[in-house]
Structure 1
Amino acid sequence: MKKLMRTAAVAAAAALALSACGGGGAGSASNVNPTGDIKPRQISWLLSRPADGAVINIMKKIADEYAQTHPGFSLNLITTPDRPSYIQKYETLAAANKLPELFDTDATPFAQQLAKQGKMVDAEKLLKDLGVYDTYRPAALNYQRFDDGSLYMIPMQFELEFFWYNKALFQKAGLTVPTSLDDLPAACTALRKAGITPIALDGQDQWPLERYAAYQPFRQAGPDYVTSLKKNQAKFADAPGQKTVNWLSSLGQSKCFSDGFSSQGYSDAQNQFTSGQAAMYNIGTWELSSLATDKLNPAVGSDVDFFTLPTTSGSVTAANEYVSPSGIGMAVNAKTYDPLVADFLKFALTKYPAEYAATGALAPTTNVQTTIPANATPLYKKALDKATDLGTKQIMPWDTQLDPTSNTRLQQELTLLVQGNVSPSEFTSTMDSTIAQNAPKFFK
């Protein structure tokens, strides 16, 4: 099944490249203020978000409000929460020039091709034209930018990722909070000796392990390393790459992750930590309701705390710089962008931040205040307050950066590396040759 999906994605990319030769029928990406009458109709949004999540529920509500003064308008939500299936659908529709008015996308190489072909509205110009650009968190916008600094996606959320840990389990193993990433392997060894699983990990979805691959290079070389790596301008054989490869191998040798982590799912990892079976859990503020409210298992509730990504000796990035994603962004189809879409977006983006903050989540803008739930623990506010103390550099998740083929291979090889099925040198050779072969097709 995965092979079929990857084949479809590659075919879509090839078709997209061909469509560029003929212009693809795209409209003007820079015309953010189209003139003419607002003619209500149904518009669609191709989504990759939880069907019962806050983003979808709020946008449904806003669309209904808009329809009250614009009879005939409706927002059709085409939802595919499963990310691999969504990407296949999105890339296929893009190649066929059949994307709807709005669609979700990360700042991937594929999306950058769409932008370069004029198929996406310039989001920075759009937000400035709507008068809301300055209300957005710089980190939320920067997460959506391409390498050249251009902005074609609108952030609908904002998150911070931490290492959540169990203080009682740390104490049992004689540990304190790690001050360096290099301390983690020894910490895992101590936890194992105390009969404790060190880190709960969702290995099935693969992206959580890929986060770990991004940490050491970010501390040693900054965010530019992956930008060069994905274009085959840097190598895993280089110093930052070798640092992470050897570190990941040591995490595996120290049995940092759950036994059988490669077959463990998202809820499995969450339950392992919240039940007190694992000492650490690397996850974002989207799980605050599970980790910082009275929903948390009372047996571990008072023991849960978090720490931010540790630095290393000689780090070029600061302690307050780590993963701060604004999730998958919303793009606007330039071909179908007209006065109705422009007017609806102005209405929606003005109302959305306050509605989103009211759910207890960090909004992508700073002009609203998050409502802390009545059942929240003090940890909830402590986590939210970290948003006011962020540096200017942030880790871009590698699954949004590498070309699709290289990324798939990386995810596979990371599991093998941590499991001890391949050596650091074998991993390095495989990944450097894979990127060298595939990067030129996406980065020209």
Structure 2
Amino acid sequence: MSVGALALAGCSGGGGGGGSTPSAFEFLKNAENTTTEPVLDALIDGACAEQNEALPLEVSSVPQAELDAQIQLLASQGGLPPMFSAGGNPAEGARLAEAGALVDFDEALTDLGMRDKIAPGAVSTIEKLYGGGFNFLPFQYNIEGIWYNTQIFEENGWEVPETWDDLVEIAGEAKAAGLTPFSASGEQGWPLTRLVSTYLFRSVGPDALQKVADGEAKLTDPEYVEAAAAIADLGAQGYFGDNVTSLDIDGSYNLFLTGQAPMIYMGSWILGNINGDGNEVGAENMSFFPFPAVEGGAGSIDQYPSNVGLPATFSADAYSDDVAGWLGCIAENYGNAALQEGQITGFVADEEADLPEISQKVADTIATSTDSVLWFEALFPAKASQISSTNAALLATGQLTPEEFMTLVQDAIDNP
């Protein structure tokens, strides 16, 4: 059942109250989310103790695979809890927002004087994912870029590349030195398609894939095929190594963390591995840089590919004064509380924390970033996403031409 077809009685689209006043601050989350609840528990014992006394936090969980259906059922019954995690399909979240079932955080946080507590880049990501509105909160926030071994770069006299041509030149010298220039999991596929999409965002512009989703452009257009060709060329030169097709995600991490590959394209979730015991290179010898510019392109290196990982939202129908109190307290304090636990979120963290240097760099980048882009499959239907990921390694190994790869994915978009 599509949320767009639901009759959501009593819902309001803004920050005002809706239906029955809740007796608890219930948070319905996906069971796989193990990071949000510990931070909320810390707030209960500290900054949000007053809010919890007025409206006690109650957390319930369902498996991620069942979350979309559960949210749709509750929405159809007018029974959405005060706070709940986003389902797996951003389009369903956008339909809920369009139906007026969600709190408008632009309005609600402005009323509470807390609008500036959410990082602009995180809001930009949410708006792009969920239909243009700010109806979800970034309890997790990841930016993506190229993580690199600073020791190898220094030993070879390589400067951080600012252009695609500079990056390719470094890759060539790395291969000549016996290294695998880029560690990437072809078994997963998406680490390769991320390169295609980020090239597109730099060449065609930040709206490149939105145009495809809107039917204004096709992946088979020459400028889109050019992006696939650029990544295929990396593979043709051997810059992904000999076993890219079979390399799983852990293997790709290991290649980078043992110093066999000087670069890996990945999101900031890799910080756990970089700062962990399995990093033989040492976190102090690693950093990251944004995907470089493509000469003559319409995009900017300041536009980081981003995702909000584990977002949550508030029910407009259950939005009461006590729920608003919780929203204000979360907005003001969640970023700092999460950072104390080593988590980087889309909430502003304005208190000092004892972080590894590389983690602090990411936190600072997030705090100052004002715009974002998505990723290759973000706006694709499920069928196209699957075809994209399962065929990416064939693009990188030359078993599919750039035109063939983009045609397969476009056909799946046109015929979901």
Q: TM-score, normalised by structure 2?
A: 0.84
Tell me the amino acid that sits aligned with residue 193 of structure 1. A
1: CA distance, partners of 2:9 / 2:319: 10
| Equivalent position of 1:256 in the other structure | 239
Most deviating of 226-235 and 318-327 = 318-327
| Equivalent position of 2:365 in the other structure | 386
Q: 1:158 to 1:425 in 2, by over 3 A?
A: closer
1: CA distance, partners of 2:62 / 2:40: 13
Q: 1:366 to 1:100 in 2, by over 3 A?
A: closer
- For structure 1, the residue ranges without an aligned partner over 5 or more in a row are 1-14, 81-85, 439-444
Secondary structure of 1:43 counterpart: strand
Verify the 8 A CA contact 1:207 1:411 in the aligned structure 2: yes
Matches within 5 A, 1:141-152: 141-146=123-128, 149-152=132-135
Of the three residues 26, 48, 53, the one matched with 1:70 is 53
Most deviating of 257-266 and 321-330 = 257-266
Q: 1:369 to 1:305 in 2, by over 3 A?
A: same
Residues 1:232 and 2:232 are matched in the alignment: no
Residues 1:423 and 2:369 are matched in the alignment: no
**Alpha carbon RMSD of aligned pairs, Å?**
3.3
2: CA distance, partners of 1:282 / 1:139: 20
User: How many Å apart are 1:28 and its aligned residue?
Assistant: 1.6
1: CA distance, partners of 2:228 / 2:20: 57
Secondary structure of 1:160 counterpart: strand
Q: 1:79 to 1:415 in 2, by over 3 A?
A: farther
2: CA distance, partners of 1:123 / 1:316: 31
Of the three residues 87, 91, 115, the one matched with 2:68 is 91
Q: 1:107 to 1:36 in 2, by over 3 A?
A: closer
Tell me the amino acid that sits aligned with residue 42 of structure 2. K
Tell me the amino acid that sits aligned with residue 417 of structure 1. L
Tell me the amino acid that sits aligned with residue 409 of structure 1. I
| Equivalent position of 1:330 in the other structure | 312
Q: How many residues were matched structurally? A: 408
Residues 1:282 and 2:265 are matched in the alignment: yes
Residues 1:307 and 2:289 are matched in the alignment: yes
Higher relative contact order (CA 8 A, sep 6+): 2
Tell me the amino acid that sits aligned with residue 116 of structure 1. E
Verify the 8 A CA contact 1:188 1:256 in the aligned structure 2: yes
User: How many Å apart are 1:395 and its aligned residue?
Assistant: 1.7
Secondary structure of 1:30 counterpart: coil
Tell me the amino acid that sits aligned with residue 61 of structure 2. I
Verify the 8 A CA contact 2:148 2:262 in the aligned structure 1: yes
2: CA distance, partners of 1:272 / 1:112: 39
Q: TM-score, normalised by structure 1?
A: 0.79
| Equivalent position of 2:303 in the other structure | 321
Verify the 8 A CA contact 1:46 1:100 in the aligned structure 2: no
User: How many Å apart are 1:261 and its aligned residue?
Assistant: 3.7
| Equivalent position of 2:388 in the other structure | 410
1: CA distance, partners of 2:255 / 2:231: 22
Aligned structure 1 segments of 4 or more residues deviating by more than 6 angstroms: 171-174
2: CA distance, partners of 1:211 / 1:250: 15
2: CA distance, partners of 1:287 / 1:209: 16
Q: 1:91 to 1:201 in 2, by over 3 A?
A: same
2: CA distance, partners of 1:388 / 1:94: 31
Percent sequence identity is: 22
Matches within 5 A, 1:173-322: 175-288=158-271, 290-291=273-274, 295=277, 297=279, 299-301=281-283, 303-322=285-304
Of the three residues 122, 128, 138, the one matched with 1:140 is 122
Tell me the amino acid that sits aligned with residue 223 of structure 1. P
- For structure 2, the residue ranges without an aligned partner over 5 or more in a row are none
Verify the 8 A CA contact 2:24 2:56 in the aligned structure 1: yes
Tell me the amino acid that sits aligned with residue 58 of structure 1. V
Residues 1:372 and 2:350 are matched in the alignment: no
2: CA distance, partners of 1:36 / 1:103: 17
2: CA distance, partners of 1:306 / 1:127: 33
Tell me the amino acid that sits aligned with residue 240 of structure 2. F
Tell me the amino acid that sits aligned with residue 375 of structure 2. P
Q: 1:205 to 1:43 in 2, by over 3 A?
A: farther
